[in-house]
Structure 1
Amino acid sequence: MEELGSDAGANGATPRPRLEDVAARVGLSTASVSLVLRGVPGPSERTRQRVLKAAAELGYRPDRTASALASRRSRLLGVMIDVHSAFQAELVEHLYTAAEEVGYDLVLSTQTRTRDESTAVETLLAFRCEALILLGPVAPASVLAELDRRAPVISVGRRITGADLDVVRSADDDGVGRIVDHLVGLGHRAIAHVDGGKGVIATDRRRGYRSAMRRHGLDDRIRILHGDHTEEAGEGAGRRLIESGDLPTAVVAFNDRSAIGLLTALRGAGVDVPGTVSVVGYDDDTLSRLGCFDLTTVSQEAEEQARRAVVAAVERLDQGRVTPREIVLAPSLVVRGTTARPR
């Protein structure tokens, strides 16, 4: 049953609606109302709708702090996010929806240029998060395994080797392979790759590029430019390609952010995209869908990744699952306006 906060605000403010008030409005017991508001299975759909409507009309809000103290559980899932990533922001939106459906809430902790992954994770633990959903973690597998002993860890987006952890990701090498297949199908042969630098995700995508080029008999056309996950890196790679005087007819960028930087450099130099150079990203983030970019890219199925990550956390917390699982989703190519047949 929900614990109640103070019946009145400070300085004689309007009393805060109580669980009993909602129960009286719908003519049910406080126990039944509590089940509905906590998302616990049992009450009928008609009952749920009546309770939720009454709670909304009364302005009732559960006292989460008191409830956590009473149950000794926070029902919080901690999410580590890169504040600069549009794709991760979209993942978080879907994580909220999936968590609410099973009676959990999220606490977010961000990585920034001055705030590293370790600090972000320790903040989540300080807020008594019961499980950690880490978006694209870069820490060594041994560090993540040690962290998993403190709270269940679900790694989203990154393959983990050398540690038994829950993983939800897309097949990055396959995703880049689909890009190369698409470009070769259009008639491209001079296909370059702006990579993502260090890290497992970048390694998998680079391997996917190499493997696909070899599969199409283009071993001698393999061309990899150093980059990372930022727009600045993509723009820098674009300038280097222009200055080389040897433009490929197509470029596969590590992600959409890098691809947008690449587009900026090419278009700024008067290079027609896709007439002269086709450009492809990866992630299908919100920016890639804007008309000014209209970027051909690869979807990682963000909504499904988020749902599977929350399910994995709940299985660990509520169902006692101890055997880790790796869930690998098939990515899909999204063809838009930055790819065409080469001239």
Structure 2
Amino acid sequence: MDQRPRLSDVAARVGVSPASVSLVLRGAPGPSAETRERVLAAAAELGYRADRTASLLARRRRHLLGVMLDVRNPFHAELVEELHVEADRSGYEVVLSTLTRNRDEDGAIETLLDFRCEALILLGPDADSSSLDKLAEQVPCVVVGRMERDAQVDVVRSADDVGVDAALDHLIGLGHSRIAFVDGGSGAVAQARRRGYRRAMRRAGLSARVLRGDHTEEGGVRAGKELLTDRPTAVMASNDRLAVGVMDAFLRAGVDVPGEVSVVGYDDSTLARLAHIDLTSVNQDAAGQARNAVRAAVSRLDGGRAQRSEFVLVPHLVVRGSTSAPVSRT
């Protein structure tokens, strides 16, 4: 049985109506300063907390933004933190639905629809354009992190070609010419970064070498072990998790980073900033992506915007201790 104190309990303690208590707790005008003080004191004494779910259900609109994310992705965690900040500023709540080993995108999205979220913000989805288009017919959708031109969804993304170019320009500028790339798998974001790597290497007149990977540290470890048999002087990974896996494989094999091999990641996640990792990585401006994603959703819901929008942010390279000039091998 639910024994939590209710609004009526606070009202009875103070000797005012529940409506007056509600006004005080919402910060609305009406009650006197003395009444406000007594209500807040009673609420604290009773341990009263507003039932957010009941409050939302009582409104004509739910003001819920559904966010799909990969729980294993540290960059998604940063985005979610910023999304919460922006949503709160706009008067919205955030509902999270995660991808896991046993839960795919369809299942995560279905959960958000079951919660009757007013709009969806999808972080790095792999769904094809047709599936996104069908989803957008049900509810406004914002896709974060990837290019999407065919579906009627709003897009917020980083210019991946610029980010990849910055990373490779840095390595080439240091004197590297044998630069391998650890692929991030079959997803749309990984494909864009792989294309950017191949294009940049062709432009520089260098031979491309792409190793199969995924989006995990384990994938990076496998690629790192493969690289040990024909070692390049530098490695760029499709994301920070892969880069950390590559560095782990090198460390266990006694290969010094950056003394023998330089390593660059992508996302500039919390992993990259750890002192013992100190990974050079491409920063995608998590706060900027979150801000524009929430604004895109709210402008449809509150402003009535119907036309599709796209926000492209310019990434920048953060140079740390995992890269240096190549050392001549004798």
Query: TM-score normalised by the shorter chain: which range applies?
Result: 0.7 to 0.9
Structural mapping, 1:175-194, within 5 Å: 175-194=163-182
Which residue matches 2:89?
Answer: 101
- Secondary structure of the residue aligned to 1:149 is helix
Q: Percent identity?
A: 57
- CA deviation vs aligned residue, 1:68-127 (integer Å, no higher than 9, x gap): 333221111111111111110111111111111111111111111111100000001101
Q: Does 1:122 align with 2:110?
A: yes
Which residue matches 1:256?
Answer: 240
Code of the aligned partner of 1:340:
S
Alignment counterpart, residue 58 of structure 2, candidates 39, 45, 70: 70
Cα gap change, 1:317 to 1:240, in 2 (>3 Å): same
- Secondary structure of the residue aligned to 1:72 is coil
Task: Give the number of aligned pairs.
Answer: 316
Distance in 1 (alpha carbons) for counterparts of 2:10 and 2:191: 53
Alignment counterpart, residue 242 of structure 1, candidates 221, 225, 228: 228
8 Å CA contact 1:109–1:120 kept in 2: the answer is: yes
Which residue matches 1:277?
Answer: 261
- CA deviation vs aligned residue, 1:186-239 (integer Å, no higher than 9, x gap): 111111111112122112111211222222222xx2111111111111111111
Distance in 2 (alpha carbons) for counterparts of 1:119 and 1:263: 34
Structural mapping, 1:105-254, within 5 Å: 105-218=93-206, 221-243=207-229, 246-254=230-238
- CA deviation vs aligned residue, 1:148-183 (integer Å, no higher than 9, x gap): 111111001011132121010101111011000000
8 Å CA contact 1:253–1:259 kept in 2: the answer is: yes
Cα gap change, 1:107 to 1:232, in 2 (>3 Å): same
- Secondary structure of the residue aligned to 2:157 is strand
- Secondary structure of the residue aligned to 2:282 is strand
TM-score w.r.t. the length of structure 1 is: 0.84
Distance in 1 (alpha carbons) for counterparts of 2:307 and 2:161: 26
Code of the aligned partner of 2:221:
E
Specify every segment of 5 or more residues in structure 1 that has no aligned partner in the other structure, as ranges.
1-8, 38-42
Distance in 1 (alpha carbons) for counterparts of 2:276 and 2:159: 28
| 1:17 positional shift | 7.4
| 1:32 positional shift | 7.2
Distance in 2 (alpha carbons) for counterparts of 1:10 and 1:255: 46
Structural mapping, 1:25-36, within 5 Å: none
Specify every segment of 5 or more residues in structure 2 that has no aligned partner in the other structure, as ranges.
none
Q: Does 1:88 align with 2:76?
A: yes
- Secondary structure of the residue aligned to 2:231 is coil
Distance in 2 (alpha carbons) for counterparts of 1:182 and 1:207: 18
Please, which moves more after superposition, 159-168 or 319-328? Answer: 159-168
- CA deviation vs aligned residue, 1:35-86 (integer Å, no higher than 9, x gap): 758xxxxx9xxx9xx99x9599676644333333332211111111111111
Code of the aligned partner of 1:330:
V
8 Å CA contact 1:297–1:334 kept in 2: the answer is: yes
- Secondary structure of the residue aligned to 1:339 is coil
Alignment counterpart, residue 338 of structure 1, candidates 298, 319, 322: 322
TM-score w.r.t. the length of structure 2 is: 0.87
Distance in 2 (alpha carbons) for counterparts of 1:183 and 1:74: 49
- Secondary structure of the residue aligned to 2:218 is helix
